[in-house]
Structure 1
């Protein structure tokens, strides 16, 4: 999961990024970077960053919100002209 998706799905994780002065918020590369990528780019220990993000995710009241990438999960049929991934 990308850091962009993590921040969108669990907004409480944004505070972790701010606390560590990470430039991931609004970064156009955030849609591609994993937590491992972001930790490496900011010279951080991945395990420590992951632990902080998980704690923020668990405390986030919007944790049950659907993922931005699951918007079409309720409509799996391809629209006219689209091909199925199956």
Structure 2
């Protein structure tokens, strides 16, 4: 049985993130981020997206955790 990826893995591809925690997609869309459905999503992680969109990564990760009801 495959293990679920860790949300805190800094190398977790966005495409995997969206597949495992689909509720997080809405957080990206609310910020008008094009990551969901982007062809680069398999190669970018949350850190990359935050850099691209000039977001505070810690704050953004907290929003994602809330959306997916993660501790």
- TM (normalized to structure 1)? 0.64
Does 1:15 pair with 2:4?
A: no
How far is the alpha carbon of 1:26 from its aligned partner? 0.6
Structure 1 residue runs of 5 or longer lacking an equivalent are 60-86
How far is the alpha carbon of 1:57 from its aligned partner? 1.6
Moved over 6 A (4+): none
How far is the alpha carbon of 1:41 from its aligned partner? 0.6
Does 1:45 pair with 2:66?
A: no
Q: Specify the structure having the higher radius of gyration (Cα).
A: 1
Q: Distance in 1 between matches of 2:13 and 2:62?
A: 16
Structure 2 residue runs of 5 or longer lacking an equivalent are 1-11
Deviations 1:4-53 (A, max 9, x none): 11111111001101100001011011111110000001111111111111
Alignment of 1:1-86 (within 5 A): 1-58=12-69
Partner of 2:4: none
